[in-house]
Amino acid sequence: MSEYADYSNRAATMASGIQLSVLIPFYKDDPAPLASALAEEIGAYELPIEIVLFDDGEPDPNLNTRIAKVIDLLPAPARLLTARQNVGRAAGRNRLASAGIGEWQLFLDADMTVTDNFLRTWLEQIEAYEFDAAFGGYTADPVQQKSHHLHAALAKGSDENSAQCRNEIGATAFCTSNLLAKAELMRKIGFDEHFTGWGWEDVDWAVRADQVGELVHFDNPAGHAGWQSPDVLLSKFRDAARNYGRLLEKHPELSALPSAKAARILKSIPGQALLRGVWALMAQSTLAPMKARTTALKLWRASWAADAI
């Protein structure tokens, strides 16, 4: 029995000459708005692009059924892969990379948004420049819930950077939210499936890919709409510490990163873990200034990383 079911719409069964595969994993999040927006651009301009969705373990069968109905109506080649078991972020993206038939592969998160000319811009970059992988960046979409303001502020302050800024940082500024790569490179350098749970598998991939290919940054951002509450962020950052430890173990040269330096400083302070409760309360406090809240969240993350390095 196959590890996943593969459902294709009529356009996908008739597709040929696919240049780009847009690969979208999801786990409970609804990818329909993003898939529909991408398909509208593909259909309107007859772009040589397919859309491949990956439902990681089908935690919501009703959502899976609805997505299958949605792709039937899309004016673009689209497929839905449904994993029989949850495999996680790294493994899920590897499954998507194996399934895509395009010469290029574009990874997007299910909760992202795109502009009307998003895919055409990526095709123009492919034609105009020589590179093996690129990160287009992302912008913060408007926040709809008060509890999400902390996440949006953190993203704006840490992750919403121009291509010029990201090119100065290099491979460690890559993430899988709007990552374009040659399929040939993905066959050589897959995501390390020993990174389990959330975090850092994308940086590890980029650092390894940078050793065999040409990685660049462009300004073709996708919108980030997957905001989460402070308690969810605290939990994710705590759990990601193990992956961060693995990242530094694999790539000792990354010990010069600001996040690694902060973790080492905290590690040298006796009893620093006792301060986590203070940082958690500060991050969750709607009365505290936003700068203080984001700083507390970063200290919380560095504190757990200190235990892992």
Taking the domains of the chain in order of start, what are their residue ranges? 4-228, 229-309
Reported as a single tens digit per residue, the pLDDT across 182-206 is 999 999 999 999 998 888 999 999 9
Span 123-150, average pLDDT? 93
Q: Where is 95: in which H helix or E strand? A: helix 89-99
Q: Enumerate residues 6+ apart whose C-beta is below 8 A from 177.
A: 107, 108, 109, 112, 138, 222, 224
- Residue 145 pLDDT level (bands cut at 50, 70, 90): confident
Q: Could you tell me if 79 and 4 are in contact, meaning their C-beta atoms sit under 8 angstroms apart?
A: no
Q: Residue 265's CB: how many other CB atoms inside 10 A? A: 12
pLDDT value of residue 133: 98
pLDDT for residue 156: 84
Q: How many whole angstroms separate alpha carbon 24 and alpha carbon 12?
A: 16
Q: What is the mean pLDDT of residues 221-250?
A: 93
Token readout for 274 is 């006792």
What b/e sequence results for 138-176 when a residue is b if at least 16 CB atoms lie within 10 Å of its CB, and e otherwise? bebbeeeeebbbbbbbbbeeebbbebeebeeeebbbbbb
Q: Which CATH class is domain 4-228?
A: alpha beta
Q: Each residue of 47-56: pLDDT tens digit?
A: 999 999 999 9
Question: Which pair of tokens denotes residue 168?
Answer: 């100065």
The arithmetic mean of pLDDT across residues 105-124, rounded, is: 96
pLDDT averaged over the chain? 94
- When mean pLDDT is compared across 70-74, 139-143, 298-302, the lowest value belongs to 139-143
User: What is the average pLDDT across 280-289?
Assistant: 95
Please say whether the dihedral angle defined by the alpha carbons of residues 95, 96, 102 and 105, taken in this order, is positive or negative. Answer: negative
Interval 238-268: pLDDT, tens? 999 999 999 999 999 999 988 899 999 999 9
Helix (H, G, I), strand (E, B) or coil at 102: coil
| Helical (H) or strand (E) element with 293 | helix 290-308
| Per-residue pLDDT at 197 | 84
Q: Tell me what pLDDT residue 127 has.
A: 96
Q: What is the pLDDT of residue 157?
A: 78
DSSP letter assigned to residue 206: H
Average pLDDT over residues 79-99: 94
Q: What token pair was written down for 173? A: 């500024």
Q: Is 112 helix (H, G, I), strand (E, B) or coil?
A: strand
Task: Single out the residue of 36, 41, 96 nearest to residue 71, CA to CA.
Answer: 36
Q: What is the C-alpha separation between 119 and 46, in angstroms, rounded?
A: 11
